Chains A and B, each alone.
Chain A
Amino acid sequence: MRRHRSILLTLLATLLAALVVAGCGGDDEEGGGSAQQPPEGGGEEQSRVIEPIPGAEQTSITVGSKNFDEQFILGEIYAQSLEAAGYDVEKELDIGSEVVAYEALTGGQLDAYPEYTGTALTSFFDVELDAVPRDQGKAYEQARAAYAEDGITALPPTPFENTYRIGLLKETAQELGNPTMISQLKGRAGDLSISGFPECRQRTDCLLGVEQTYGLEFSEFVSSESPYEVLDTEEADTAFIFTTDGNLATGQYAVLEDDMSLFPPYNVTLSVRNEIAEAMGPEGQAVIEAVQEPLTEEVMQELNSRVAVDREEPEVVASDYLNAFGFVQG
């Protein structure tokens, strides 16, 4: 007993020492890791560096996000750029799913968070899935109008949209003859199992919709929060995934497109409470538009992959992004 205990004590002492050392010395790692260099252009390249807006420090903005990687990254990008612009920024990332986040926004616990146009329309404003315009611009306009009635300003949307796809291992795709569209699964879904997050089976903007619109009947639904794990271990043949998922960057998966346009557009719009939007004014809003402008589907997927595959922290990924595109220096 004594011998066991002294071994354990030594282990604990070493651990505590390591933690103290790490705690003291670790702070300089932030942002210094994989910083990309801003483009060394010729003199013609105008500076995108975010300049502090006079009087911004009077405005306090609480930036939130929902509970997955892309949301953390976007929340960090918006928060860090608003901070660079001189605002007094608080972060409340990882609030929860969309309903929780929207309640926090309208209730005032959050001042802003990034939401997807399609999600807002179907989840908050009770628009039927097929009633949402499939044009990204029109969907945004409809969302903006609906948000306005709730006292929320929906800022202009991001270039990328993050919509549903069905993913499968490249090997599985080869066995099926390399389909590229969901409708190509018709008649063969009976041999395939599909994975999705727990609620997916009962949502029309997930499995239920796919079953109804594409007329597919999968052999089994595998409920899981980790679609790529489930595909890798072959627990499921196919899985619901998203366009900008970081794991897709590993090149191991094939993706089926939504050729029958079951899903509405899902561009990101930073939804801001009216008072804060007014306090930000046109200059503050311009910062947001500038900082999200390079976010194409490829760029967003690259950022997501740094978190999902390289296991970097969203805060670091966001600051690297801002550095790389010249919004922030150093």
Chain B
Amino acid sequence: MTELAILGDFVSAFEFIFESRESRAGTVQVGGLEEFGQLTLTHLQLSFVSLAIAVAIAVPIGIYLGHLGRFQFLAVSISNVGRAVPVLALIAFFIAFVGVGFTNVALVLVLLAIPPILTNAYVGTAQVDPDTVDSARGMGFSEAQVLTRIELPIALPTIFGGIRTSAVNVVATATIAPYANVETLGIPIINFNVYGGTGQLAAAIVVALITLACDAGLGGVQRAVTPKGLKLAANPSGAPKRRLFGLIPRRSVQPS
């Protein structure tokens, strides 16, 4: 397969996104901005809702356990192993209990998103310097204040790192939603007979772009919530860490 041919494929895929055309079987119109817009919207809705619920569940639990410094096995090991659960199996399994549809897929995506967030919330909170925590207690902070005013700000970058990872996983996995009757960008990928290889590639490109955007966006948030002190500690010269999300190399100040 020559490089030109691959390039040609990509160009046709881009065209597919913007122009609507006849399907492979010549029966319906597929492709085009309107359809992709709708699919993308559903995809994003599903991803956002699932991620939000996962954050609401995993962050409080993770922070709490991290603050106590207990149940590491649950927060880290079991949580890690949870990443291995096959998504397709979960969807099929839940059909019997909640049927098909948005609830089914959202439930599955929530379960998928929890492990990285839970682990990172735990680790971020637990790794806060114990001396700092002790001196805060010594100064008369209540446990709740220690948690919210000391541990949380320091743990925030790590927590957002976990949310980033989950966001990427969720957006990528939402392509499987059509198996439970939810129309996301997975439709052109799965329905090869109607959309053809071009449609498949087009949808994959859109998903990849959305994922990168989410990753970059959350990366920006992560940097924004990093307390200034931590930023300076990591980069004493004060030079800007990265430009354009790492695509332009920063000036290196350390001896190489």
Taking a contact as CB atoms under 8 Å apart, the answer to whether B92 and A226 are in contact is yes
Taking a contact as CB atoms under 8 Å apart, the answer to whether B193 and A199 are in contact is yes
Closest 4 CB pairs of A and B: A223-B181, A199-B191, A202-B28, A204-B27
A171 within 8 A of B: no
Taking a contact as CB atoms under 8 Å apart, the answer to whether A223 and B183 are in contact is yes
Q: How far is the CA of A198 from the CA of B99 in the complex (A)?
A: 16
Which residues of B lie under 8 Å from residue A222 when comparing CB positions?
A: 100, 181
Closest to B25 in A: A203
Closest to B29 in A: A202
B117 within 8 A of A: no
Which residues of B lie under 8 Å from residue A122 when comparing CB positions?
A: 25
Interface size class, chain A:
20 to 34
Which residues of A lie under 8 Å from residue B24 when comparing CB positions?
A: 99
Within 8 A of A (CB), among B116-147: none
The segment out of A31-39, A161-169, A227-235, A303-311 that lies at the interface is A227-235
Residue picked from A5, A199, A222, A229, most chain B C-beta under 10 Å = A199
Q: How far is the CA of A199 from the CA of B84 in the complex (A)?
A: 29
Taking a contact as CB atoms under 8 Å apart, the answer to whether A208 and B192 are in contact is no
Could you say which of B25, B179, B193 contacts A224, with CB atoms under 8 Å apart? B179
A21 within 8 A of B: no
Which residues of B lie under 8 Å from residue A99 when comparing CB positions?
A: 24, 192-193
A22 within 8 A of B: no
Within 8 A of B (CB), among A184-241: 198-199, 202-205, 208, 222-226, 229-230, 233, 235
Within 8 A of A (CB), among B10-41: 23-28, 30
Q: How far is the CA of A235 from the CA of B98 in the complex (A)?
A: 10
B172-202 interface bits toward A, Cβ cutoff 8 Å, 1 = contact, 0 = none = 0000001111010001001111100000000
Report the minimum CB–CB distance from B7 to chain A (whole Å). Answer: 22
Report the minimum CB–CB distance from B219 to chain A (whole Å). Answer: 33
B90-105 interface bits toward A, Cβ cutoff 8 Å, 1 = contact, 0 = none = 0010011001110000
Taking a contact as CB atoms under 8 Å apart, the answer to whether A226 and B95 are in contact is yes
Contact A123 to B96, CB < 8 A, known contacts A223-B183, A224-B180: no
B79 within 8 A of A: no
B72 within 8 A of A: yes
Taking a contact as CB atoms under 8 Å apart, the answer to whether B193 and A229 are in contact is no
Closest to A197 in B: B191
A87-100 interface bits toward B, Cβ cutoff 8 Å, 1 = contact, 0 = none = 00000000001111
